[in-house]
């Protein structure tokens, strides 16, 4: 049975935003976030013990958002010099912002995926199991997930470098083929960014600026 899931953000307010804005988001709760077209039937959401479930607008698969994530979203109105008509190029541009900042804090190679979407056939529909345009890899491990929503008013690109292993989703993925527990990806702590997280966020808000910066405390 399909569940009626609330949206993650106020997308109507976003569409009315006329200024290029970076949202540095903080959450004290844990959310399981589904892609816009992702069915709930394949997920055992009850197995997560009451964790809130939300749906975002835009592509991509299921992702876990929680306290300590480096969660940064970019809204670029149509007509802004940074607005790009190409979907692929918009995602890569955001990935390059992340790469420029992470390269200053890491010695391993930082790479932006510039190819097409590559889903992991053993874990379909799981964000951090795949590889999409603009997503950032550090030392060969996926570090930053990217998803995009485009409307006539502009483009919204949402990104997250998680603080917690996405393997925490495993109980909800019992109906998904493959061993999700074996998934490897980078986290804030594994990259040694705990002590410089605020610096990383501040640097991200300055790349390709100027931007208006908002810091919502909770998704709304």
Q: Check: CB of residue 86 under 8 Å from CB of residue 157.
A: no
Q: What is the pLDDT of residue 176?
A: 61
How far apart CA 140 and CA 115 sit, in angstroms, is 15
Q: What is the pLDDT of residue 173?
A: 75
Residue with tokens 């540095």: 24
Q: What is the pLDDT of residue 22?
A: 98
Q: Check: CB of residue 74 under 8 Å from CB of residue 156.
A: yes
Q: Check: CB of residue 27 under 8 Å from CB of residue 73.
A: no
Q: What is the pLDDT of residue 1?
A: 43
Question: pLDDT tens, 9-54?
Answer: 999 999 999 999 999 999 988 888 988 877 777 678 778 877 888 9
Superfamily of the domain at 11-214:
Bira Bifunctional Protein; Domain 2 (3.30.930.10)
Residue spans of the domains in the chain: they are 11-214
pTM for this structure? Answer: 0.90
CA-based nearest residue to 160, from 199, 178, 134, 124? 134
How far apart CA 168 and CA 151 sit, in angstroms, is 33
How far apart CA 8 and CA 6 sit, in angstroms, is 6
How far apart CA 116 and CA 34 sit, in angstroms, is 21
How far apart CA 55 and CA 34 sit, in angstroms, is 5
Q: From residue 150, how far is each of 59, 87, 134, 160, 218 by CA, in Å?
A: 10, 8, 15, 18, 23
Q: What is the pLDDT of residue 16?
A: 97
How do the pLDDT tens digits run along the chain, 220 residues long? 456 788 999 999 999 999 999 999 999 888 889 888 777 776 787 788 778 889 999 888 888 999 999 999 999 999 999 999 999 999 999 999 999 999 999 989 999 999 876 665 455 567 777 788 999 999 999 999 999 999 999 999 999 999 999 888 877 776 665 545 457 899 999 999 999 999 999 999 999 999 999 999 777 5
Whether the bond between 210 and the residue before it is cis, its omega within 30 degrees of 0, is yes
């Amino acid at each position: 049975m399909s569940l009626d899931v609330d949206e993650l953000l106020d997308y109507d307010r976003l569409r009315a935003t006329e200024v290029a804005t970076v949202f540095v988001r903080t959450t004290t709760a844990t959310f399981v976030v589904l892609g816009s077209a992702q069915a709930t039937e394949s997920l055992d959401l009850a197995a997560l013990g009451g964790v809130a479930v939300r749906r975002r607008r835009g592509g991509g698969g299921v992702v876990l958002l929680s306290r300590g994530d480096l969660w940064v979203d970019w809204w670029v109105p149509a007509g802004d010099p940074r607005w790009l008509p190409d979907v692929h190029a918009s995602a890569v541009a955001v990935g390059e912002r992340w790469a420029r900042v992470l390269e200053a804090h890491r010695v391993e190679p930082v790479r932006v995926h510039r190819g097409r979407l590559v889903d992991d056939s053993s874990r379909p529909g799981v964000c951090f199991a795949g590889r999409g345009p603009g997503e950032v890899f550090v030392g060969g491990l996926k570090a930053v997930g990217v998803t995009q929503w485009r409307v006539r008013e502009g483009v919204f690109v949402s990104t997250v470098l998680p603080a917690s292993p996405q393997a925490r989703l495993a109980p909800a993925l019992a109906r998904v083929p493959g061993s999700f527990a074996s998934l490897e990806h980078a986290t804030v702590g594994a990259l040694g960014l705990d002590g410089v997280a605020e610096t990383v966020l501040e640097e991200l808000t300055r790349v390709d600026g100027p931007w208006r910066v908002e810091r919502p405390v909770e998704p709304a």
